[in-house]
Amino acid sequence: MTIKLPSIGFGTYLIANNQLEHCIPVVLKAGYRHIDTAQVYQNEEGVGKALYKALRDQGLTREEIFITTKVYTGNQNRGQSPMTYLETLSSIESSLEKLHLDYIDLYLIHAPFCKNERVDQWRAMIELKNLGKAKSVGVSNYNQIHIEEIKQAGLPIPDANQIELHPWSQKTDLVSYLQRNTIPIIAFSSLAPLSNWRSQKGEKSSKSKQMKIDGEDPNSPFKLIAKKYGVSEAQVLLKWALQHKYAIIPKSSKHHRIKQNINLDSFVINSKDMETLSSLHRSDGGLAWPEGDPTLLD
């Protein structure tokens, strides 16, 4: 099944419930039709409340909006028990209630931490799709090994995989595998190379001091290419992803950036500049997870 996944969505990680009340109306007016959240973000309630009001105020229907949320199925390294089949099956109920929805457009397993329970958890996801509680089901932070487990169990493969992708972490082998298996790719943390990415107190990542210095360099490739095209560095990074055919979910609580991040049709990065950006790869391990990129797990 090919899902009707909007190419540009709005990410909500680290945006508080009370902020979403002001962000979501701006997001929809700007033209976003995909909103991405997760149970561990603890903001599904804010998304749901703001979305309910904004749809009514702007004359939009539920069917025009694509909602992604994620179930965090446990992580023993954090002292969390892995979810069972039944727990995974029932996990969607709290999301539906908080989001004020009858169904989720795309329901994802947030990460592949539960090695011995992953297949059973995926069986539950398939059942949620069969029940109509999720139109599509997928995974996040899964690599080839994790998806091959699903195939070997004789189960349908994910409808999408959401992974960290940007010029510093390109995951070319995983991307090729997903493309060969026609699994749509959603890129998160597209803006990780920027100096202001997760720069506020309490915003954690595995970004090194040197990476932060590199991001501030006035002669960084991102700054030079942005200047050449008359756009922001963020727009360059997002356009790079779109030109690779990845869906994107940029996050910002600033209204002018929300509008800027979807305004990507005015320029095309030429092949030479795309090659320059692609030459900046540092590691398949991304920066978003402080303890390390889950796609590197077996």
- Residue 3 in any domain: the answer is no
For 228, the token pair is 């050449």
Average pLDDT over residues 259-284: 98
Q: What's the structural domain count of the chain?
A: 1
Whether 201 has a pLDDT exceeding 90, the answer reads: no
- Residue 113 in any domain: the answer is yes
List the catalytic residue out of 32, 41, 72, 107: 41
- Around Cβ 213, how many Cβ atoms within 10 Å? 11
What would the pLDDT profile of 8-40 be if each residue is shown by its tens digit? 999 999 999 999 999 999 999 999 999 999 999
- Residue 234 in any domain: the answer is yes
Whether 173 has a pLDDT exceeding 60, the answer reads: yes
CATH number at residue 253: 3.20.20.100
Q: Could you list the residue range(s) of the whole structural domain that residue 180 is in?
A: 10-296
The two beta strands, 10-11 and 34-36, are parallel
Q: Is the pTM of this model over 0.75?
A: yes
Query: What's residue 77's pLDDT?
Result: 85
Please, are residues 247 and 138 in contact by the beta-carbon 8 Å criterion? no
- Residue 18 in any domain: the answer is yes
Average pLDDT over residues 191-210: 93
- Residue 279 in any domain: the answer is yes
CA distance readout (Å), 29 to 22, 100, 136, 249: 12, 20, 26, 16
Average pLDDT over residues 208-237: 97
> Whole-number mean pLDDT of the chain?
97
What would the pLDDT profile of 85-125 be if each residue is shown by its tens digit? 999 999 999 999 999 999 999 999 999 999 999 999 999 99
- Residue 187 in any domain: the answer is yes
| Alpha helix (H) residue ranges in the chain | 17-30, 44-58, 85-90, 92-99, 118-130, 144-152, 172-180, 209-216, 221-229, 233-243, 255-262, 271-278
Whether 76 has a pLDDT exceeding 60, the answer reads: yes
Average pLDDT over residues 282-297: 97
Query: What's residue 105's pLDDT?
Result: 99
- Give the residue among 206, 209, 219 at the shortest CA–CA distance from 276: 219
Average pLDDT over residues 230-236: 99
Catalytic (active site) residue 85: no
- Residue 63 in any domain: the answer is yes
Query: What's residue 202's pLDDT?
Result: 84
- Residue 1 in any domain: the answer is no
Cβ partners under 8 Å of residue 228, min gap 6: 273
Whether 270 has a pLDDT exceeding 80, the answer reads: yes
Return the percentage of the chain with pLDDT > 70, whole number. Answer: 100
Whether 1 has a pLDDT exceeding 60, the answer reads: no
- Around Cβ 270, how many Cβ atoms within 10 Å? 12
Rounded-to-integer distance, Cα 168 and Cα 285, Å: 9
